[in-house]
Every structure is written in C-alpha cells, then in structure tokens.
Chains A and B, each alone.
Chain A
C-alpha cells in the first residue's frame, strides 16, 4: 500500500508568479484535502476534492485553486504569489466513507516566495 506522495518537496518562487503543487493519493482513497501550514502554526484547511469537484473550501482567496484527476491525484495551483504564501503545503487523502478519520498526510511541499 503506497502512501501519499507530494511533489516537489521544496521550491522557491518570486512574488507574482504562479505555482502548481502535486499530490498522489494513497491507494484506495478518493478524496484529497489540502492544508497550508505556515511556520510555527497548525495546518489550515484550503479545500477538499471528491469526484473531481471541489467539496468544501476554507478561508482562502480564489487565487488558490485545485484539480482532482480520475486517478484521484490532485493539484494545488496558486496564482499571483504573495510573500505570505510561504508555507508548507500538505495534502491529505482519505476515503469518502472515513473522511477526516482516515486522513493520511503527505510529507508536504515547502514553498518559499521571495
């Protein structure tokens, strides 16, 4: 059973640029949730995807968008990057039935905006 894989592990972007982060969900999982973890903070919910549609969103602006693919993998896109977007971005997969009870987190992508 493979776990949740996120790529890249680290990247540096310039303010105003766009970035795409990727997540491969654990085998058997069909929902993907994205969280932002700023330095010294707990993870904050960005949004969740189920059946290739957004299924819940936290308090993040529209420049944060995502996709889920038929194989349940997912992308997080952030446009017009701001310095405050620097954070660890975590992907968590689960089954629809188990929801948060069955979360498996990836190791995250560390994004630095300069």
Chain B
C-alpha cells in the first residue's frame, strides 16, 4: 500500500523555468512533509520541509505548497538550473520517531 503518491515520474524543464512536483498522501496523521534531493551515487539530502499548520514555505528558489484538505503538497523550483538536475522525493511521517514514508521519486532534468 503506497501511502505517498508522487508525480510526475520524470520531468524536463528549460533552464530558468519552474519545476513542479506533486505528492498526495492518505494518512491524515502525517504531520511532517519533507522533500529530499538525491544526486547519482549519493544518498538523499533534505531540501525543505513543511508542517500542516502552514500552507506554504519558501527557502530561496524552493517552495512547498501544502493543501491539508486535499491531502496534497507540492515542490516548486523557481528559476530552475542545470545543477538542480536530480531525483526528488517527497516523504511524510506522523512523528519525529516514526520512519519516513517516501514517494517513488521524480527525475528532474533541467536543460539549457
């Protein structure tokens, strides 16, 4: 049973464009929603995270939008750069000491 559904599976964006990756979750007990970035040959690295008490969180070019009623959240990458080319995973958990449940990932390619 997949508790976090991520789309699209792959994404190609022009340099300078906006990359948007979407996730939907089922478990209403989830209260922490991080996004991880993974480069080939590396482990996932935390990019940005949000809790359900806010609808948006922005850090530099990266923004999470959160819709609690729809049980959806998304990652927006503004002014996408070739260096952003990586696989992005959304995840969720319902407390700090329960494991993360990951989406299947989105492979982003930013082309010049």
Interface residues of A (CB under 8 A from B): 4, 33, 40-45, 48, 56, 58, 90, 92, 96, 98-101, 103, 105-108
Q: A40-B104, A43-B89 are in contact. Are A107 and B41 (CB under 8 A)?
A: yes
Give the complex CA separation of A99 and B99 in angstroms: 9
Q: B98 → chain A, closest Cβ, in Å?
A: 7
In addition to A42-B89, A56-B99, A99-B98, 19 A-B residue pairs with Cβ atoms within 8 Å of each other are A40-B104, A42-B4, A42-B103, A43-B102, A48-B99, A56-B97, A58-B99, A90-B43, A96-B97, A100-B32, A100-B93, A100-B97, A100-B98, A101-B96, A105-B45, A107-B42, A107-B43, A108-B42, A108-B43
Q: A88 → chain B, closest Cβ, in Å?
A: 9
Q: Does B16 contact A (CB under 8 A)?
A: no
Give the complex CA separation of A43 and B42 in angstroms: 13
Chain A, Cβ-Cβ closest to B89: A42
- Number of A-B residue pairs, CB cutoff 8 Å, is 57
Q: Is the CB of A42 within 8 A of B43?
A: no
Q: A43-B89, A107-B43 are in contact. Are A100 and B105 (CB under 8 A)?
A: no
B interface residues, how many (CB within 8 angstroms):
24
Interface residues of B (CB under 8 A from A): 4, 6, 32, 41-46, 49, 89, 91, 93, 95-105
Give the complex CA separation of A103 and B44 in angstroms: 10
Residues in B whose Cβ lies below 8 Å from that of A56: 97-99
Give the complex CA separation of A56 and B98 in angstroms: 8
Q: Is the CB of A101 within 8 A of B99?
A: no
Residues in B whose Cβ lies below 8 Å from that of A4: 43
Q: B20 → chain A, closest Cβ, in Å?
A: 18
Q: Is the CB of B102 within 8 A of A42?
A: yes
Closest 8 CB pairs of A and B: A42-B102, A105-B43, A99-B96, A45-B99, A99-B97, A107-B43, A43-B102, A105-B44
Give the complex CA separation of A40 and B45 in angstroms: 17
